[in-house]
Amino acid sequence: MKKWYAVIGEPIAHSLSPYMHETWFKEHGIDAAYIPVQVKPADLEKAFFALKTLGVSGFNITLPHKESILPLLDHIDETASAMNAVNTVVFDGENYVGFNTDGDGFVQSLFAAPVKLSARVLVIGAGGAARGISYALKRSGFSDIVIANRTIARAEELARDIGGSAMTLADAEKSLGDFGIIIQTTSVGLSTDQALPISLENVKSGTIAADIIYNPLETPFLIKAKEQGCHTVNGVGMFVGQGAIAFEKWTGIKPDMEKMKELITNKLGGQYVNK
Ligand code: ATR
């Protein structure tokens, strides 16, 4: 029987996940559909029951349900549990199991740049996204991770959890030259008229600067980083990376990420450069 998958969230109309997964299903000759479903926070439990009743094989979860889905699932894997957020659910025939592929998706995409595991890494922000990425960085072998956040207590808590250190945004700004990799995880770059979360005046040329936002393709942070001579990584790789890990969990197949990065970049009106 035809399988079907979904992404639930609110808003959901502009999600590129249906395009990405349906393209991969087609490429691999898999008879499956992937449907965007708008779900209000108050309806999450009913929506999950409906998905189960209708035989969903797996689904993605986006804002604002990444945390509230946890108590509804049968099992939560270790990463999702540490992050207290789920973005992918797999139905194994018996149980609905929650995973979080965001952090690993980001770190996979980071390796498209010339990164060194010995680099000092600065993570700007200490929210859910920063948490997932910091855990994944640690797991991937980065050992010197510094978290800087507007609210320092949140940076200290995350640093404690992953075995890193914490800094104020002002201190991070002053010592920016010490970092080989700078990762922007706050929501500040979503709008092109917003200020940067951190001034990039002291950044060294050649530093890798990454943003998790993919729309706009070039956030004010990345534009400034490029002007300063940084090697920039936008959020398309993370978006495709998290989707590719979910796709593999559902189908056992590793899809072509480079080709998808190009398709998504084109869809967003950009030009893909494979560096
Ligand atoms: P997400 O799950 O997307 O990471 P979040 O948990 O709400 O979202 O976290 C948002 C992050 O962006 C936080 O690190 C937040 O800083 P605070 O912990 O101090 O709130 C950061 N952030 C949001 N707006 C910001 C701003 N104007 N300047 C600096 N940091 C900001």
Question: Domains in the chain and their CATH numbers?
Answer: 3-101+239-267 (3.40.50.10860), 104-236 (3.40.50.720)
For all residues of the chain together, what is the average pLDDT?
A: 94
Q: Which helix (H) or strand (E) holds 181?
A: strand 181-184
191 pLDDT more than 70: no
pLDDT at 246 over 60: yes
Distance 153 CA to ligand 1 centre (A): 13
Mean of the pLDDT values across residues 206-220? Answer: 93
Residue among 2, 26, 40, 66 flagged as catalytic = 66
φ/ψ of 178, rounded to 5, equals -80, -10
Question: Each residue of 68-79: pLDDT tens digit?
Answer: 999 999 999 999
Return all residues near 61 (Cβ < 8 A) that are at least 6 apart. 7, 8, 9, 69, 86, 87, 88, 89
User: Mind listing the pLDDT tens digit for each residue in 19-53?
Assistant: 999 999 999 999 999 999 999 999 999 999 999 99
Contact of 183 with 122, CB cutoff 8 Å:
yes
Taking CA atoms only, the protein residue closest to ligand 1 atom 12 is 186
Please report, rounded to a whole number, the percentage of residues in the chain having pLDDT higher than 90.
Answer: 89
Each residue of 232-241: pLDDT tens digit? 999 999 999 9
Q: Is 18 in the pocket of ligand 1 (CB under 6 A)?
A: no
Asked if the model's pLDDT at residue 190 lies above 80, the reply is: no
Instruction: Evaluate: CB of 150 within 6 angstroms of ligand 1.
Output: yes
128 is in an annotated binding site: yes
Q: How far, in Å, CA of 17 to CA of 88, rounded? A: 12
Residue 154 alpha carbon, nearest atom of ligand 1: 18
Please state, in angstroms and rounded to a whole number, the distance separating the CA atoms of residues 85 and 132.
Answer: 9
In the block, tokens 């609210």 appear at 151
**Does residue 220 carry a pLDDT above 80?**
yes
Task: Please check if 214 is assigned to a binding site.
Answer: yes
pLDDT at residue number 251: 98
Helix (H), strand (E) counts: the chain: 10, 12
Please report the DSSP string for 72-131 in residue order.
Answer: GSSEE-HHHHHHT---EEEE-SS-EEEE--HHHHHHHHHTTS---TTSEEEEE--SHHHH
Q: What is the pTM of this model?
A: 0.93
CA–CA gap between residue 233 and residue 226 (Å, rounded) = 10
Provide the percentage of residues in the chain whose pLDDT is more than 70.
97
Collapsing DSSP to helix, strand or coil, 60 comes out as strand
Our answer on whether the CB atom of 184 is closer than 6 Å to any ligand 1 atom is no
User: pLDDT for 258-274, tens place per residue?
Assistant: 999 999 999 999 887 76
> For ligand 1, is residue 149 a contact (CB within 6 Å)?
yes
Measured CA to CA, the distance from residue 35 to residue 9 in angstroms comes to: 11
Specify whether 66 is catalytic. yes
**Residues 93-146 pLDDT 10s:** 999 999 999 999 999 999 999 999 999 999 999 998 999 999 999 999 999 999
Taking alpha carbons only, the member of 153, 156, 167, 159 closest to residue 137 is 159
